Amino acid sequence: MDEPIQKMEKDCAPIVDAQMPEIDAAAKGGDLTKALEQLLALEKQTRSAADLASSTRVLKRFIQLTFEAHDWKQMQEYIVLLSKKHGQLKHAITKMVQEAMECLDKTPDMKTKLELIDTLRTVTDGKVYLEVERARVTRILAKIKENEGNMAEAADIMQDLQVETFGSMEKREKTDFILEQMRLCLLKRDYIRANIISKKINIRYFKDADVQDLKLRFYDLMIEYSLHENEYLNACKHYRQIYDTPCIKEDPAKAKKAIENAVLFVILAPFDNEQSDLIQRVYLEAEEVETTVYRDLLKCFITAELMRWPMIEQIYGSTLRQNPVLSGSDEASRKRLKELHNRVVEHNIRVIAKYYTRITTKRLTQLLDLPDKDCEEFLSKLVVSKTIYAKIDRPAGIVSFAKTKHPNEVLNEWSQNINSLLGLIEKTCHLITKEEIIHSITKVI
């Protein structure tokens, strides 16, 4: 919030210019107390006269003198004292706080630094005109806690500030701050809050060419969240957004890596209409990048043909295991490798359901390279998700993919066939009559 314009009653610049050398001399002579007392009297004059320039100069000088004397206690005391003075100009307080913030990196030890940070956070608390400074000091404190290994406290400190409501903070800095909040939440393993915070960022902002670094940071964090939640389709979308970033497209290696990961995650995603559409788009993008193995693997999932898992392992296994998504020794990587096998089996079942109306369970197990129990489990899963229609006759050992039609559907289909047949008969009769007429005319001639 901007400070209302206050008319300056008197220009105190000459007074400040006259007294400042005397104050500096006293400070250099070792009499800091006398210097600060003189400066305090001068501050009262500039504040009473509403002279912003002179008042700002005096307040900043309090910080400078105490810093030069290495008297951090007095610096903190004067920051609190001056900020509470009645009629103190807001802009002058802001400049004083900013001057004190520059001293944070020059403190002699961590204890002093934390005390100064605490003082600045106390002074800036609840003041709209100091919201940006409070956010910056809070971020420094959170970084200290993170370096100490206290991730939970660092995340909690950052979450206290709702920077999306700060009108005086630039959009880039605001976005950067929110990304830092997301990162700390993920380190804290607070995935729900990280997802909530991510929605504060308008992704249309990333269309600007000068925020590509923020865009990449955002989608890297979103990928981390998506992988934790096993949202493979979202992970694919995030990698596509990374690929669409100009600085990534300019680097063939990074572009190739982004597309390869997009291919893997769109394959790992469960089949539905959205996945079916996205897999076609990713295939077109994979053709733009030299990634033959991944493109060929993706084509196998697009083509309505059976894939034998042993052959997939033999042809693509060595390449896929070089990708960190599948090559890790952790539980998540092993789970993704198993998911890949599951997607191959599910694809094969959809192909079989497309070409067969009935099939024996023995033949089905041969085509899927799975035991009876696993075949039935996969079939049941796809039927429940309504991906396919199937009925299993266990005693007969037969799986039927033909959906039982309602009598009305049978009648409608029969009616359409009869209408089509009658139409063909009528057209044939018309053509025969036409030929007879032409033949008779030719005969007369």
What are the pLDDT digits (tens) for 204-258?
A: 999 888 899 999 999 999 999 999 999 999 999 999 999 999 999 888 889 999 9
Assess whether 259 and 181 both reside in one domain: yes
Residues 259, 125 share a domain:
no
Q: What is the pLDDT of residue 1?
A: 43
Residue 220 within a domain = yes
Mark whether 5 and 131 lie in a shared domain: yes
Specify whether 139 is located in the same domain as 181: no
Domain of residue 190: give its range.
Answer: 170-198+207-303
C-alpha neighbours within 13 Å on the C-beta side of residue 441: 6
What's the pLDDT at 194? 92
Q: Final residue of a domain: which of 243, 277, 303?
A: 303
Domain membership of residue 85 (yes or no) is yes
93 and 219: one domain? no
The pTM of the full predicted model, rounded to 2 decimals, is 0.82
Query: Do 219 and 79 reside in the same domain of the chain?
Result: no
- Tell me, yes or no, whether 88 and 179 share the same domain: no
Residues 18, 144 within the same domain: yes
**Which domain-ending residue is among 303, 326, 361?**
303
Backbone angles phi, psi at 360, to 5 degrees: -75, 150
Same domain, residue pair 11 and 92? yes
Q: Which residues of the chain have pLDDT under 50?
A: 1
Does residue 97 belong to any structural domain of this protein?
yes
Residue 291 lies in a domain: yes
Same domain, 295 and 229: yes
Residue 121: strand, helix, or coil = helix
- What is the structure's pLDDT at 7? 65
Q: Of 303, 338, 365, which residue is a domain's last?
A: 303
Identify whether residues 82 and 174 lie together within a single domain: no
Q: Report if residue 401 sits inside a domain.
A: no
pLDDT digits (tens, 9 = 90+) for 254-282: 999 999 999 999 999 999 899 999 999 99
Distance CA 276, CA 266 (A): 9
Domain assignment present for 319 = no
List, in sequence order, every residue forming a beta bridge with 360; answer none if it has no partner. Answer: 398
Q: How far is 180 from 358, CA to CA, in rounded Å?
A: 57
How many domains does the chain fold into? Answer: 3
Same domain, 113 and 28: yes
Q: Is residue 19 part of a domain?
A: yes
Does some domain include residue 30? yes
- Tell me how many degrees the CA angle 326-331-335 measures, rounded to the nearest 5: 55
